[in-house]
Amino acid sequence: MKHSLSFVLERAGEFFLGQSPIHKAARRIAQTLLEMKIPFAVVGALATNAHGHVRTTADVDLLMTPAGLAAFKAAWLGRGWVEKFPGSKGMRDTVHEVKIDVLLTGEYPGDGLPKPVRFPDPAGATTPDPEGLPILTLPLLLELKLASGMTAAHRPQDLADVIQLIRVNQLALDYADRLNPYVQPKFRELWQAAQVSEDF
């Protein structure tokens, strides 16, 4: 679907001001999960934004446990959220017309195949954003994005995000030591790329 430039600019402006439908959908489901005391973490592009690399996105990505997702769906499907298709992990916010993608604890990023990095339990894996929403910590976000980009050729944005997160957070090369050994060589490679100036 094509959109006019003015439509794109308006939506982008809403996003950067934190007033887009994506932000509203994220706050809505986050508040519901908090009220239900269901552990979760905001991941994906919104977490990347919270850690300093601001870019737009078209959906909300959440990390949940299988039990947490099941509890939420049992209580709220048909009441402002619907499944993308029967039995899917993902949902759609019918109030704001925004997709909610859910990643489950224990699954593997990228190609989905077993590897030393997997999606963690959100309990104890978050840091609060300025609004108090639980955002995946920076080391875990980097690990998942690195593992995803390393094993899924169709996800180059994950590696681009890592480069920008290194830059905006002024991460040192030895930050790699805080990450899973599986992704450390890739972090060091992208750290070198992050040192190249984009000034022309």
Nearest-Å Rg of the Cα atoms of the chain is 17
pLDDT at 4: 56
Tokens 């954003």 -> residue: 129
Residues 123, 40: Cα–Cα separation, whole Å: 7
pLDDT at 1 over 60: no
Cβ atoms of residues 40 and 30 within 8 Å? yes
Which phi and psi angles does 64 have, rounded to 5°?
-140, 165
Q: What is the DSSP code string of 88-139?
A: -S-EEETTTTEEEEEEETT--STT-S--S--PPPSTTSEEE-TTS-EEE-HH
CATH code of the domain in which 70 resides: 3.30.460
Tell whether 76 is covered by a domain: yes
pLDDT at 12 over 70: no
Q: Which domain holds residue 64?
A: 5-194
Tell whether 200 is covered by a domain: no
Q: How many domains does the chain have?
A: 1
- Model confidence at 79, in pLDDT bands (50, 70, 90)? very high
Q: How far is CA 4 from CA 8, 14, 22, 175, 192, in A?
A: 6, 16, 19, 42, 38
Tell whether 199 is covered by a domain: no
pLDDT at 197: 80
Tokens of 58: 């078209």
Residues 22, 155: Cα–Cα separation, whole Å: 21
The model's pTM is 0.89
- Model confidence at 7, in pLDDT bands (50, 70, 90)? very low
Q: Where are the alpha helices (DSSP H) in the chain?
A: 5-16, 21-36, 44-50, 66-76, 138-151, 156-168, 184-194
Residues 11, 13: Cα–Cα separation, whole Å: 5
Tell whether 79 is covered by a domain: yes
Region 27-55: what's the mean pLDDT? 95
